[in-house]
Amino acid sequence: MEKINLAQKLALFSEHWSPKIIARLNGQEVRLAKILGAFDWHHHADADELFLCVAGRFRLEFRDRAAVELAPGELCVVPRGVEHRPVADEEAHLLLFEPADTLNTGNVQSARTHAVLETL
């Protein structure tokens, strides 16, 4: 039951596309990530995924509809099964809510897949 300060947690790492766990509840995890560029296209078969922009700007791209642009204080939920990829033209910081076993690259295995996430 500690206070978790998002800015302080974000100051603890610099690498992109490597989500860090900052809290766990009800089988879900709160994760923080720094992103830059375009991620791999993927989907999560069994997990809805919430993206909240904390700093910078990024967009969620989809195969079959317009991208959703997110600025600080804006969020979007990507339902399970929907192929997507986050893209950030400049570095952005985001908070994720998703089930504890959600693989960051979903159905895809790539150099950016992190099977085990660090907890901050």
Interface with its own copies includes 83 (CB under 8 A)? no
Interface with its own copies includes 74 (CB under 8 A)? yes
Interface with its own copies includes 45 (CB under 8 A)? no
Burial of 115 (0-12, 13-18, 19+ CB in 10 A): exposed
- Residues 111 and 116: their CA atoms lie apart, in Å, by 14
Burial of 91 (0-12, 13-18, 19+ CB in 10 A): middle
Of 21, 36, 82, 108, the one binding its own copies by CB under 8 A: 82
Of 16, 36, 40, 50, the one binding its own copies by CB under 8 A: 50
Nearest distance from C-beta of residue 38 to its own copies, angstroms: 18
Count other C-beta atoms under 10 Å from residue 58's C-beta.
Answer: 25
Query: What is the binding site for its own copies (CB under 8 A)?
Result: 1-7, 23-26, 28, 30, 47-50, 54, 60, 62, 65, 68-70, 73-79, 82, 97-99
